[in-house]
Amino acid sequence: MKQLIDRLAQDRVLSKKEFVELLCGHSEDDASYLFEKARKTSLKQFGNRIYTRGLIEFTSYCRRNCYYCGIRSGNPDAQRYRLSREEILSCCKNGYDLGFRTFVLQGGEDPYYSDQEIADIVRLIKSSWPDCAITLSIGEKDTAAYLLFREAGADRYLLRHETADPYHYTMLHPDGQTAENRKACLWELKSLGYQVGAGFMVGSPFQTTENLADDLLFLHELQPQMVGIGPFIPHHQTPFASYPAGTLDQTLFLLGVLRLMMPSVLLPATTALGTIAPDGRERGILAGANVVMPNLSPVGVRKKYALYDNKICTGEEAAECRFCLQNRMNRIGYELVVDRGDYFPERS
């Protein structure tokens, strides 16, 4: 297995069969070997500097009905809210003062915000804080919208592909949502000059090891600048309420694999990872991740943006996630930096 890991580090990809073998046949010892290699790779690319992105969850309304997600349109008990322009800008002001130089505007697919309105919000943020990067994470839109946002100044776009397998995709999503369209959006975003982030949930219902191998092969093909992965965590008001969560071990292993595949990719240790284990994000960093995304949303709405159960950082005490994460990173020998944290090509 160690040979396979060495070859992955060298060739940046394996065959589907080899990925399957690696993902289901590794021992604990192999995992430690992978983490050490992945960690060394991140240290070479980024040093002990961890990039931060201030996450602003600006709407919990969503027209989609994904089976796994707590804010799906079919959940009548989801608590809905929208932030006004002023509220979004005030999150950014607070974030800038705290040292954030990237803001991620994330929300459900909420038609209340017209494309023009989103573009206006992007322009307003850019004009107040021109040294900051803006990342959008607002789902599938048409080309004209992606172009409009880009021209307004959006730098990056997060759109997890969720699963590369068309059949598995339909088991996670109703209403004719397709993997094909999802992937087409990602290619489109890339061609418009966004730094793009794809990704998937680890341990989502019906996911097989072959599916994960296909996810890795798709990412190898797309070569995104960012990859977001985290464990699936059930939400009690969804059709997947009784499915088991993805595991810490498998998520960490995949983070390590992704780091070897794409040495300079921006790879967050996600909130979902911190939710399934108290030290999940720290262990994510030690397995090769190099980004954290502290919550910047107003404390009063945080509990309402519940994609899954028991999400961390939603209590009053979590007002300053940045400081919490700074302490957590310092304890494992890393530091949070005040930096946009743009993608750069690999340092050899």
Query: Which parts of this chain interact with ligand FES (CB under 6 A)?
Result: 294-295, 313, 318, 321, 324-325
Quote the least distance from Cβ 322 to ligand FES, whole Å: 8
Stretch of residues binding ligand 5AD (CB under 6 A), selected from 111-119, 230-238, 249-257, 259-267: 230-238
Q: How many CA atoms lie within 13 A of 84 on its CB side?
A: 3
Q: Is 315 exposed, middle or buried (0-12, 13-18, 19+ CB in 10 A)?
A: exposed
324 binds, among ligand 5AD, ligand FES, none (CB under 5 to 8 A by kind): ligand FES
Nearest to 267 by CA among 295, 290, 287: 290
Does the footprint of ligand 5AD cover residue 78 (CB under 6 A)? no
Considering only 232, 253, 305, 334, the residue that binds ligand 5AD (CB under 6 A) is 232
For ligand FES, give the closer residue by CB, 55 or 71: 55
For ligand FES, give the closer residue by CB, 9 or 318: 318
230 binds, among ligand 5AD, ligand FES, none (CB under 5 to 8 A by kind): ligand 5AD
Considering only 160, 220, 304, 340, the residue that binds ligand 5AD (CB under 6 A) is 160
d(CA 134, CA 226) in angstroms, rounded, equals 14
- Buried residues in 58-70 as b, exposed as e (16+ CB within 10 A): bbbbbebbbbbbb
- The answer to whether residues 185 and 222 touch, using CB atoms and an 8 Å cutoff, is no
Does the footprint of ligand 5AD cover residue 308 (CB under 6 A)? yes
Quote the least distance from Cβ 42 to ligand FES, whole Å: 20
Q: Give the DSSP per-residue string, 169-228.
A: HHHH--TT--HHHHHHHHHHHHHTT-EEEEEEEET-TT--HHHHHHHHHHHHHH--SEEE
Residues in contact with ligand 5AD by the rule CB under 6 A: 68-69, 160, 162, 201, 230, 232-233, 235, 272, 307-308
